[in-house]
Amino acid sequence: MSLKEVLGIELPIIQAPMAGVQGSALAVAVSNAGGLGSLPGAMLNIETLRDELSAITSQTDRPYNVNFFCHEMPEHSQKAEMIWRNALSPFYKAYSVDPDMVPVGSSRIPFNAKTAEVLEEFKPPVVSFHFGLPEEELLLQVKSFGAKVISSATTVEEALWLEEYGADVIIAQGVEAGGHRGMFLSHDLNSQMGTFALLPQIVDAVNVPVVAAGGIAEANGVVAAMELGAAGVQLGTAYLLCHEALTSPMHRTALESEGAKHTALTNIFTGRPARAIINLAMKELGPIHYGIPEFPLAASAITPLRTIMEAQGSGDFSPLWAGQNVTGCKAISAADLTHELASQL
Amino acid sequence: MSLKEVLGIELPIIQAPMAGVQGSALAVAVSNAGGLGSLPGAMLNIETLRDELSAITSQTDRPYNVNFFCHEMPEHSQKAEMIWRNALSPFYKAYSVDPDMVPVGSSRIPFNAKTAEVLEEFKPPVVSFHFGLPEEELLLQVKSFGAKVISSATTVEEALWLEEYGADVIIAQGVEAGGHRGMFLSHDLNSQMGTFALLPQIVDAVNVPVVAAGGIAEANGVVAAMELGAAGVQLGTAYLLCHEALTSPMHRTALESEGAKHTALTNIFTGRPARAIINLAMKELGPIHYGIPEFPLAASAITPLRTIMEAQGSGDFSPLWAGQNVTGCKAISAADLTHELASQL
């Protein structure tokens, strides 16, 4: 089955949902160009989610995707919180952050009944999830209004799980990919494979279409992924410099710098491993810091430092998400980039 | 420049040199099939090296490759040796190994004047190195008899370095690859990229032909790598089950097992990170054990345990080298495998 048949898109190019650096504008541009634009819903409140979906549906009649995280909220751990705040305390002191004013908890709420209700109003053609799939009742609700469901696998085991539990399309997320690893059956980073190894093994293992993600930057990468059996590709990093992206000037500068060649998987920004350009915080505190609060609870304690540093024009404590291949980042329109990526198909 | 022009081979397929699991027979078979067969010289004494080169030159008139490690021998560290022997001591006790009988040091000698003398006799058409390149005088000697020189890069920086110092062909070794990482400018595992990201970036950076390695298992992987700009491919894992390989029955069984899907980079067998199927020793002692003797000095202390366990038919302490994609391993002749891999070109 081609992605055209399953998702109704003209070009087998999915723009990866990237919470914090893009909204409806990028999604609309990619969908109107014939690819699948994605709205990251993971960090939106109900109000904004509704506004963004309205913005999309008023500007395109092509298929689009809305993405959510479906982690289980961990219990608050006093011990993990202490480990993390102790590690951060020299920086709190240096930048005059009062630890007592730093909130505990997180605003990243997993996909839930309220979000599903909003989706019911808009009936988005595609809904994608990160970290597995939501519980059965919610998944059935999403499927009941005709949405096709996508989720990411970082191992063959995860791909088989996703197929069994109802994913219509599976993204094979190679270790090259920027942002959060979609891993949900294992937390062992040794299990994470490069796209070249992961993609064909997932293609062999499942019957649903498989989309390649991780390391793809140019049109020849799209062709190479299709050669390895992909029905399409998903790119995030390549879209980060596009006019319609909301990538901060600081993040854009980092992506265009020599430093962008050096990324690592880090858990210090949220609690889960995600690939970012190596910055001061990752060097001093990570890239992997053991014992800190589980996703998404690690974010709260580091955020005040990020806020202070960003106000001074520094990305030293910002998550500068990027994959291992930033050579495809271009400061052009998302439509042009989408067409360029599909130009050798 | 094509590999045919530079190396004189018919098919752009290089059989990766794999010390300990193959000798001249595999190299001869691949070279006679039109690819580039490789003899791993890293663990051979002068006598055996000469015998193996004689065996190759008497059985093929096609180009072949002989490979050496060119690490610098580290100084013996009493502290590192203690850290490692302390970690191993419960296993020494359990298997009645007398630590006083365990030798210090290593038989893995880097490429040197004596090896170069033997090469002078045979004038191999291709010489490849792992861990950079030998010192200038030795390199010039190798080049003086007409050998083309190949080495592996795991980062763009390493590729630029190899080009500057005289490599005629560069292997882009993606993190998927089995066996030792060729890294030599940095020891930071975060710098290691998947083939999909590494290959096109190295292709962009250098002017010499680039060979893709890591994760390639089937004919479509060869095509995909060429699409990403590779002049050819190097495969090791895929050849491990071939009739001509000397892979032990235990290693073969492991490669055909479910366990082969789970590999990790480990330093416990030699001191440098290398990808192997996860076994008991890697679980209990690693996969990365900090503070142990530098390559190749870590090998001595773990070897007695390997010997004892192998005598009992167990690979619990053996380095079961494999890449992240064992699906291409086939118990067929190396000639048939080489032709299969090239069948879609």
CB contact under 8 A, B227 and A217: no
Q: How far apart are CA B230 and CA A38, in angstroms?
A: 32
Domain count across chain A? 2
Residue A253 in any domain: the answer is no
Q: Which of B157, B185, B196, B201 is the best substitution to test chain A (most A C-beta atoms within 10 A)?
A: B196
Which residue on chain B is closest to A282 by alpha carbon? B190
DSSP string, B246-287: ---HHHHHHHHSGGGG-EEEE-TTTSS-EEEE--HHHHHH-S
* B228-269 pLDDT tens trace: 999 999 999 999 999 999 999 999 999 999 999 999 999 999
Q: Which regions in chain B score pLDDT beneath 70?
A: none
Which residues pair with residue B47 across a beta bridge?
none
Quick one: A123 exposed, middle or buried, by C-beta within 10 A (0-12, 13-18, 19+)? Answer: middle
Question: In B, what residues contact A, Cβ < 8 A?
Answer: 156, 174-176, 190-191, 193-198, 200-201, 204, 214-218, 220-221, 223-225, 227-229, 261-265, 278, 287, 323-325, 327
Residue A132 in any domain: the answer is yes
Domain limits for position B19: 1-73+109-240+327-345
Say if residues A76 and A105 touch (Cβ distance below 8 Å): yes
Residue in the block written with tokens 């700009």: B229
Contacts of B275 in chain A (CB under 8 A): none
CB contact under 8 A, B224 and A220: no
* pLDDT computed for residue B99 by the predictor: 94
Residue A248 in any domain: the answer is no
Which residue on chain A is closest to B344 by alpha carbon? A227
Question: In A, what residues contact B, Cβ < 8 A?
Answer: 156, 174-176, 190-191, 193-198, 200-201, 204, 214-218, 220-221, 223-225, 227-229, 261-265, 278, 287, 323-325, 327
pLDDT band at residue A107 under the 50/70/90 scheme: confident
Residue A247 in any domain: the answer is no
Look at strands B37-40 and B169-173 and give their pairing. unpaired
Which residues pair with residue B321 across a beta bridge?
B276
Residue in the block written with tokens 């109900």: A46
Q: Which of A157, A195, A196, A268 is the best substitution to test chain B (most B C-beta atoms within 10 A)?
A: A196
Which residue from A256, A258, A209 is spatially nearest to A237, judged by alpha carbons?
Answer: A256
Quick one: A301 exposed, middle or buried, by C-beta within 10 A (0-12, 13-18, 19+)? Answer: buried
Task: Give the end-to-end CA distance of chain B in Å, rounded to a whole number.
Answer: 17
CB contact under 8 A, A287 and B216: no
Letter for the amino acid at A270?
T
A20: tokens are: 């914090």
CB contact under 8 A, A190 and B263: yes
* pLDDT computed for residue A342 by the predictor: 98
Which residue on chain B is closest to A188 by alpha carbon? B264
Residue A103 or A51, more confident: A51
Which residue from A311, A340, A259, A298 is spatially nearest to A106, judged by alpha carbons?
Answer: A298
CB contact under 8 A, A325 and B197: yes
A328: tokens are: 């495809």
Contacts of B229 in chain A (CB under 8 A): 220
The verdict on B87 and B196 lying in the same domain is no
The residues, any chain, with a CB within 8 Å of residue A50's CB and separated by 6 or more, are A118, A121
The verdict on A235 and A134 lying in the same domain is yes
Q: How far is A177 from chain B (nearest CA, A)?
A: 9
The verdict on B285 and B187 lying in the same domain is no
A152: tokens are: 């990411």
The verdict on A137 and A231 lying in the same domain is yes
Say if residues B257 and B315 touch (Cβ distance below 8 Å): no
Which residues pair with residue B36 across a beta bridge?
B14
Query: Cα B111 vs. chain centroid, distance in angstroms?
Result: 15
The verdict on A184 and A52 lying in the same domain is yes
CB contact under 8 A, B201 and A325: yes
Residue B106 has phi, psi (to 5 degrees) of: -155, 150
Say if residues A20 and A43 touch (Cβ distance below 8 Å): yes
* B209-221 pLDDT tens trace: 999 999 999 999 9
Q: What is the rounded average pLDDT of the residues A118-132?
A: 98
Q: How far is A117 from chain B (nearest CA, A)?
A: 39
The verdict on A290 and A194 lying in the same domain is no
The verdict on A87 and A32 lying in the same domain is no
* pLDDT computed for residue A191 by the predictor: 95
* pLDDT computed for residue A125 by the predictor: 98
The verdict on B265 and B205 lying in the same domain is no
CB contact under 8 A, A214 and B194: yes
> What single-letter DSSP state applies at residue B190?
G
Query: What percent of chain A is predicted at pLDDT more than 70?
Result: 100
Residue A305 in any domain: the answer is yes
Rama region for A206: left / alpha / beta (φ>0; ψ in -120 to 50; rest) = beta
Q: How far apart are CA B330 and CA B242, in angstroms?
A: 6
Contacts of A327 in chain B (CB under 8 A): 200-201, 204
Is it the case that residue A1 has pLDDT exceeding 90? no
* pLDDT computed for residue B150 by the predictor: 98
* pLDDT computed for residue A104 by the predictor: 87
CATH classification of the domain holding B233? 3.20.20.70
Residue A189 in any domain: the answer is yes
Contacts of A324 in chain B (CB under 8 A): 193-194, 197-198
Q: How far apart are CA A249 and CA A111, in angstroms?
A: 30
The verdict on B163 and B173 lying in the same domain is yes
CB contact under 8 A, B223 and A218: no
Which residue on chain A is closest to B224 by alpha carbon? A224
Q: Find the radius of gyration of the CA atoms of chain A.
A: 19
Q: How far apart are CA A83 and CA A78, in angstroms?
A: 9
Residue A231 in any domain: the answer is yes
The verdict on B230 and B262 lying in the same domain is no
The verdict on A177 and A287 lying in the same domain is no
The verdict on A34 and A183 lying in the same domain is yes
Contacts of A196 in chain B (CB under 8 A): 174, 176, 194-196, 214-216, 221, 224-225, 325
Nearest to B221 among A200, A214, A264 (CB): A200
Treating both helix axes as pointing N-terminal to C-terminal, what angle do A334-341 and A219-227 enclose, rounded to 10 degrees? Answer: 50
Query: What percent of chain A is predicted at pLDDT more than 90?
Result: 97
* A·B CB contacts under 8 A: 124
Mean model confidence pLDDT for chain A: 97
Q: How far apart are CA A148 and CA A65, in angstroms?
A: 9
* B282-317 pLDDT tens trace: 999 999 999 999 999 999 999 999 999 999 999 999
Residue A256 in any domain: the answer is no
